[in-house]
Amino acid sequence: MKLKLITEISLALLLARLKQTMVAAFGVTFSIAMFIALLSFMGGLNDLLDSLILNRTPHVRLYNEILPSKIQPIARSSEFPDSYHFVRHIKPKNELLDIRNSDAIIKALKNDENVRGVAPKTTMPVFYNIGEINLTGVINGIDVDEESRLFSFKDYVVEGQTIDLKNTPNSIILGKGAADKMLAQLGDNIQITTSNGTRFTLKVVGFFQSGMDELDKVQSYTTLATTQKMLGKPASYVTDIQVKIKDIAMAPALAKRYHELFDTEAIDIQTANAQFETGSSVRTLISYAVGITLLIVSGFGIFNILNMMIYEKMDSIAILKATGFSGKDVNAIFLTIALTIGLVGGALGLIFGLGFSALIGIIPFNNASMPAVKTYPINYNPMFYVIGAVFSIVTTYLAGYFPSKKASKVDPVDIIRGK
């Protein structure tokens, strides 16, 4: 009975100051809606930027880096066993860039239960020949099927088909920037010169656009067999082994393990993209900070409105307490008012936040460097809505708690005597 009565009194007080109630609820609605829209947009933007890097980056990359020998001949000499050796101008070891026993390593990786897929690659520097002009470039020899499966290669081919690279001998998919410089079109034949001076003619079967303009001016793709043929190397010649694992969090540990097991250099995705991940974390942190600030500001608005309501309703509070309502009852009345504002405003905020996010998601986004992206990116993560709902209740509860505590301590005798 008392609960029903408290609810009726709370509703009566809310309706008595309807404009103030609507302003408070609108403050919560606006804050939650902007919180949801902001986080959804920034989450989508982070996903887009992450995909530009992470989709094209192996979780673990195995390669052979040319380094000076760690143990110099003087260290092997028995004449200076307890001496310090100072050797300057050490030259790198005379080794090839390919990974030794690549076939066995690839087979072992494919049998590893932590590995989702393996894509071998051979990289070689070249010159694109345009008449008398030579443009520097890099050709990546890839396994077309594995590259498409693990790194979404076909999603970045903006003209032509990836299957043509596999089916057409001596073919190439040019980076869009390099193609624009050479004024190349599909079906054209271009000439490239390898680092050892050998010249080859390749047929253009597609254009590749990663979204990073400087990269697209340099990189192009052929099949592994074509690259090995241009280098004059056997089918086992591989300079990179790209590994995608099932749990990306295991990448650092697996990179260390593969380095020791296969005696090759290994780098994990976290190490390779540490600066990029820091940028994503900072953007997310700023989004949360701005969104939570909006919620706190709306909480102060509710606090002020309830404070004013208490001052205006001192007579009503005194009558309630004089007729038998305890301080806890009065406290419950004003907390009910605050939570009602929070629940109604929060629910509307979630709905409007979803609507704003959907509206942003249909706004055209035309960028020449990212032709596959047609609209602004949005991330509809349910966690954003959960956080918004919880904060709307928590902030409105705290905004109502202190005024309600003050109202519960009002002495009805002092109020009536003052009147």
The mean pLDDT of 28-49, rounded to a whole number, is 82
CA distance 223 to 142: 5
pLDDT at 136 over 90: no
* pLDDT given at position 30: 83
Quick check: 141 and 224 in contact, CB under 8 A? yes
pLDDT at 115 over 70: yes
Coil, strand or helix at 199: strand
The mean pLDDT of 9-29, rounded to a whole number, is 74
Residue 388 is which amino acid?
G
Split at pLDDT 50, 70, 90, the class of 352 is: very high
Structure tokens, 161: 């088909």
Q: What is the pLDDT of residues 272-316, one digit of tens each?
A: 776 666 666 777 777 778 777 777 776 676 677 666 766 666 666
CA distance 153 to 242: 13
Pick 44 or 318 by higher pLDDT: 44
CA distance 71 to 64: 18
pLDDT at 221 over 90: yes
pLDDT at 371 over 70: no
* pLDDT given at position 140: 92
Reported pTM: 0.64
Looking at the chain, how many residues does it have? 419
Backbone φ and ψ of 134, nearest 5°:
-120, 125
The mean pLDDT of 125-151, rounded to a whole number, is 86
Cα 293 to the chain's mean position, in Å? 23
Q: How many CA atoms lie within 13 A of 131 on its CB side?
A: 4
* pLDDT given at position 1: 43
* pLDDT given at position 248: 82
Strands 133-142 and 219-223: parallel
Quick check: 132 and 176 in contact, CB under 8 A? no
Pick 317 or 345 by higher pLDDT: 345
Cα 142 to the chain's mean position, in Å? 26
